[in-house]
Homo-oligomer: A and B are copies of this chain.
Amino acid sequence: MRPDLSGIDPLQLNLATRLSVGDMLTRSAFQFPDRTAVADGAEEISYAGLDAAAEAFGRGLLDAGLQRQQPVAFLLGNSWRFVATFFGCAKAGLVALPVNLMLPADDVAWILGDSGARAVVADPAFVPILEQVLPDLPQVTTVVVTGEAPASVAGRPVLRWDDVAADPTPLQVVVEDRDTLHCLYTSGTTARPKGVLTSHLAVHVAALSNALQVGHRHGHEFSVAPIVLPLFHTTALDTLLLPVLLTGGTAILPGGFEPRSYLDVVESRRATHLLLLPMMWAAVLATPGLDERDLSSVRLCMYAMAPMPQERIGQIAAAFPGADVLLGSGQTECVPATVLQWPAHQDTKSGSWGPAVVTVDTRIMGPAGDLLPRGETGEIVYRGPHAMSGYWNNPAANTAAFAHGWFHSGDVGHLDEEAVVWFTDRVKDMVKTGGENVSSVEVERVLLSFPEITEAAVIGVPDDQWGEAVTAVVVAADRAADPADLAQRLTAFCREHLAGFQVPKRIEVLAGLPKTATGKIQKHELRARFRG
């Protein structure tokens, strides 16, 4: 049964019935025009102001020649203009492509080239990177800068953000449920990052699901969330910012993380929802005078990316007496938080990842694609509307990612009797460090380009500060070389060719690497050896 809608203009029908992330802001702005949506340290902007700016910026991009579903790359730090740029793309039916600001220039160049970005929006601090990469990227025709900038960059005229966002006429654009909302590049097991395409439907449903799960409310107890993790990651963007803006709360963007000023924000803003990495929580707990602060407004202390020792969880619970302490886990390919602990797990299952959220199925899959019973170990797989639409320009990766009708996480674990996920290992060869994914292969490629090395294996070693520490195990060409000296020069070499977070925290020089009969390096042996 389908209705006959032949008498209705498709745009009008789309406007009346669609599920789009741009409308999320429109609704909050109509309901709460004068409430503060975002406070970014420099400025506060109301919902009405943010919505108008986003709508005008999206219109400005279309006026500059951008076409439906084309990608708009941004090199923007956390600020209200990041949020307005994101929503401007959403409202205009363009694809938001926030670039990881920690990547070296050649990765940025590769992402802009691979995605085919037509426009780049940057803070003034990133103009030098644009000067460096744009000469080889003729398809980038529109360059927008949020502040002071030269008149042109690499031969292209520079538009000022505020000038692009000048026309207040409302946008009227078709946005389909499964149109791509954002493209986030994530390090893969291959050498180059992959573009993960995610739809309006996925992100909107995830925002509803997350709001439900972490207790954001609409119409009472408005949430206040300081966000210090970078908004170019799905964690901060999809798990924290959007659920808060969906429900009329306030996002505080204080800039970089510094524990004392973070706590000042929590206290002065009466923050309700906190999300930090484990090492940041350690820094918060170590801040002098913590117990003299009024932290009673906080209802939830979330940590992401890696478990924390039970002792630290107890310390957080003691420091924030009105709050639950929960781990949220997910990945760019399946909009976080895919699995989330419940308050009851704070004491009993704190080492777990928790169960799936209401809109996600979680199972354990064997190598043949069979679903395994509870208790058995295999690959963690997901189903549901949070799943990515697919990788950009990579059909083989898509086929592998969705094999057997489930999204393959690349993580290994089991489910207990209460369907709680216990993570044990990673199928894919990745290190998760300080909230970043590091591809082992990418680091190994750099290590192996150093002439004095014949073999290299990069693994993640559990680490209190980083979650996992990037650890390199290498074999020297010259057996007589001094290990300490070699490691030092190798580190310096890595610093030149890798982003800071990719540089190994530790380099071990061995006489040889453990291998399988077919010559494949046995990383699980290395992991076991260097753990602890």
Chain A residues near B (Cβ < 8 Å) = 1-9, 11-13, 15-19, 23-24, 26-28, 30-31, 69-71, 95, 115-116, 172, 177-178, 180, 183, 195, 197, 201-202, 204-205, 208-209, 211-213, 215-220, 246-247, 342-344, 355-361, 383-385, 387-396, 398-399, 402-407, 418-419
Q: Known contacts A205-B205, A361-B23; is A8 also within 8 Å of B387 by CB?
A: no
Which B residues lie within 8 Å of A24 (CB)? 358
**Measured CA separation A3–B395 after assembly (Å):** 7
Residue of B nearest to A395 (CB): B4
**Measured CA separation A30–B383 after assembly (Å):** 13
**Measured CA separation A8–B398 after assembly (Å):** 8
A1 B69 Cβ-Cβ under 8 A: yes
**Measured CA separation A237–B136 after assembly (Å):** 58
Which B residues lie within 8 Å of A393 (CB)? 4
**Measured CA separation A226–B406 after assembly (Å):** 36
Q: Known contacts A247-B358, A405-B12; is A2 also within 8 Å of B419 by CB?
A: no
Given A4-B395, A8-B399, A208-B208, 20 new contacts (CB under 8 A): A1-B115, A1-B392, A2-B69, A2-B389, A3-B388, A3-B389, A5-B402, A7-B396, A12-B402, A13-B402, A15-B405, A17-B384, A18-B385, A19-B205, A19-B384, A24-B358, A31-B355, A31-B418, A208-B209, A219-B344
B402 A3 Cβ-Cβ under 8 A: no
**Measured CA separation A178–B385 after assembly (Å):** 13
A398 B23 Cβ-Cβ under 8 A: no
Kindly provide the distance from the CB of A349 to the nearest chain B CB, expressed in whole angstroms. Answer: 11
Which B residues lie within 8 Å of A247 (CB)? 212, 358
Residue of B nearest to A69 (CB): B1
Which B residues lie within 8 Å of A11 (CB)? 405
B219 A30 Cβ-Cβ under 8 A: no
Kindly provide the distance from the CB of A74 to the nearest chain B CB, expressed in whole angstroms. Answer: 15
Which B residues lie within 8 Å of A361 (CB)? 23, 26-27, 30
Which B residues lie within 8 Å of A30 (CB)? 361, 419
**Measured CA separation A54–B24 after assembly (Å):** 34
Residue of B nearest to A407 (CB): B16
Out of B4, B217, B343, B356, name the residue touching A31 (CB < 8 Å).
B356
Residue of B nearest to A196 (CB): B3
Which B residues lie within 8 Å of A405 (CB)? 9, 11-13, 15-16, 172
